[in-house]
Amino acid sequence: MLFVLNRIDVFRDDKDWPDSERDFFKRTVHNIKQKLTKELEEYQEDISALQVIKMSALPALLSVQMKSYNQQKSTQAFEKIDDRFKFLIPKDIIEDLPRKVERWENHQRHRVAEKVWEASYAEEFHKYLKEHIDQNFPQLVIPQIVDRFKAKAGNAVAEWAIQTTYAFINSKEEDYQKECETIAQIRQDISQFISQKAQELRDPFEKIENALKGFREESDQSFSEDNNSSDTTSDPRNELEQIVESIIEELRQGDYQERANSLILLYRWRRGVEQAVVKEILTPTVESLDTGKICLDSKVLQAADPDKLNLLEGVIRDLIDLEYPTKNGNKIEARTEQEKKDLRKLNDKLNQLTSALKGLMNEAVKQILDREMKGVVDGLKTLLDYYLSLLEEGMGNIAPNLAISFSRSELEIIDSIPEPKFKFEAGFAIIEGTWLEDVEVTELKRTLFLFKRKVKTIKQETRSSDNAQLPKIEDINKHWLWQKNQAEIEIYSQVADWFICQMNKFIKKVESSQKEIVDRYQERLDKAYDQAQLSLQKDLSIWNPLHQEAKQLKENIKKAGKVLR
């Protein structure tokens, strides 16, 4: 890996800039390696060997443009250097330069360009980049070329040579019948061998799948909203991670010990989801509602779709205007039409808030999963490749004369990964109620002298109202977290199902491929037998040496592939 620390020229303003630059560089390299080791523990060897270099990209680019044959472009580059990066030019050179860039001579321009190129560390960057490409180019390109060659030529040549020579050796009547029986036994043994290894491959992931089924069935009891934030011992996500870690430990102790670290990627995505969804989206939203001041300045929110961010900000502003920050948790009895309208509006805004959050969270989670699932796919490819090597070795022991070998490129059938989404709900129930209102009425009443006169009295009349218990901000946040955690369980489930699905497809492909190899040998054996019937005698002294040479050819092709890989 190659890291570039850009804009390193900022330290030139310091009095002792070489010391400042050196301390910053040393500290940053340490932090980069420490962070990568924590997040990508399966790549520790690569991380320890990573290179970090300093650079000032813009001055380096301008130094190249200075040498342009286009006079206008060259002059503009010199003016930018003179205006913004003059500190990169040594003082003794500056003293010899005319004040106006247009008056600089060609040799002066060339000298300045060279010094800026050197001061921006561009030469060092160019050197390390070339070394990085030279070192990694064979790993990136040659294995693919070799694999394509093996798929189209190498394997086919080895298989044809070994099977054809061996078929002719066994073309006599008694040898032919015996070899047919051997082929039948080989088919049975290979089938059992593949089934055994396939189950070993699927076992860890079936454990995960079974655990997920149990968690979903008991989700209401083992992972409720009440214990969401406080009781982490019963959190299914933590239990799932423990299961995956135990599986990795089992793989390290078995045939797959070299590939176990690849499966760390199975659950590492959760860290990114937790950071993006909780700390970067939910927390700023809750703080805005709690304080009544909008503070949506997290990195994830600021990098989100502007329309979605504006929608969230607008809904929060409306909720603040409706006094939700001060009314949350209260019982509301809306009596007037305006109060009822405001209550319904408040409910609509809370639902809109959840909808806005859902859009932002889905966007953030998709970016994280798109990035992390590439690693999951790479981990699966690595595991299947190692599994294929075990199959080739085992089948080679079962049928040494059939030249069973698989092409990785032909068996690669990994489909696109799932795109899980979050589902969120909010709002509150509005219940129709009644209340008694004191109303002043005028009535005619008789006096002692039997005269009638108007008397004002107070009577109570029944009125309708909309009643609601406004949810507390704290309770809404708990509910969101609960839904987010449930969504993570679904992601685990989808990824585990996807893993098993890919393995089943891969195993079927392997079974089909090895069957075709055995079928081709049967056809060649039948053809050799038919030809042997037309001739009274075959000269085995010709075919036996050819068969040995064919076996050697297969080994040479196999060794060539390993060296280049």
Residue spans of the domains in the chain: they are: 2-137, 172-428+470-537, 432-464
Nearest one of 186, 362, 374, 196 to 268, comparing CA atoms: 374
Cα–Cα dist 71/73, whole Å: 6
Sign of CA dihedral 496, 498, 501, 507: negative
Contacts of 489 (CB under 8 A, 6+ apart): 212, 215, 216, 219, 223, 236, 237, 240
Output the pLDDT for position 129. 77
* 320 and 353 Cβ atoms separated by less than 8 Å: no
* 299 and 280 Cβ atoms separated by less than 8 Å: yes
437 φ, ψ to 5°?
-110, 135
SS3 readout for 126-157? HHHHHHHHHHHHHHHHHHHHHHHHHHHHHHHH
Cα–Cα dist 330/142, whole Å: 69
Q: For 240-263, what is each residue's pLDDT tens digit?
A: 677 777 777 776 776 655 556 656
5 φ, ψ to 5°?
-95, 100
Sign of CA dihedral 455, 457, 463, 465: positive
Nearest one of 158, 152, 88 to 116, comparing CA atoms: 88
Cα–Cα dist 271/41, whole Å: 14
Between the CA of residue 337 and those of 192, 324, 349, what are the distances in Å?
77, 19, 18
Cα–Cα dist 266/114, whole Å: 49
* Predicted structure pTM score: 0.55
How many C-beta atoms surround the C-beta of residue 167 within 10 A? 25
**What's the DSSP call for residue 8?**
G
* 77 and 66 Cβ atoms separated by less than 8 Å: yes
Contacts of 472 (CB under 8 A, 6+ apart): 328, 329
Contacts of 33 (CB under 8 A, 6+ apart): 47, 48, 50
How far out from the chain centre does Cα 71 lie?
48
| Residue type present at position 241 | E
Beta strands 452-469; 431-446: pairing state = antiparallel
Between the CA of residue 51 and those of 1, 4, 28, 191, what are the distances in Å?
6, 8, 12, 48
Sign of CA dihedral 534, 539, 540, 544: negative
Helix 473-534 with 337-398: angle, nearest 10 deg: 30
Between the CA of residue 494 and those of 208, 209, 213, 423, what are the distances in Å?
11, 9, 12, 15
256 φ, ψ to 5°?
-105, 25
The residue ranges of the chain whose pLDDT is under 50 are 140-142, 144-146, 149-154, 157, 220-233, 426-431, 433, 435-437, 536-538, 563-564
Cα–Cα dist 183/522, whole Å: 8
Instruction: Tokens 């080895």: give the residue.
Output: 158
Cα–Cα dist 200/189, whole Å: 17
Nearest one of 481, 473, 477 to 290, comparing CA atoms: 473
Sign of CA dihedral 357, 362, 363, 367: positive
- CB burial readout 489-523, b (16+ within 10 A) else e: bbbbbbbbebbeebbeebbeebeeebeebbebbbe
- CB burial readout 196-230, b (16+ within 10 A) else e: ebbeebbebbebbbebbeebeeeeeeebeeeebee
SS3 readout for 470-484? CCCHHHHHHHHHHHH
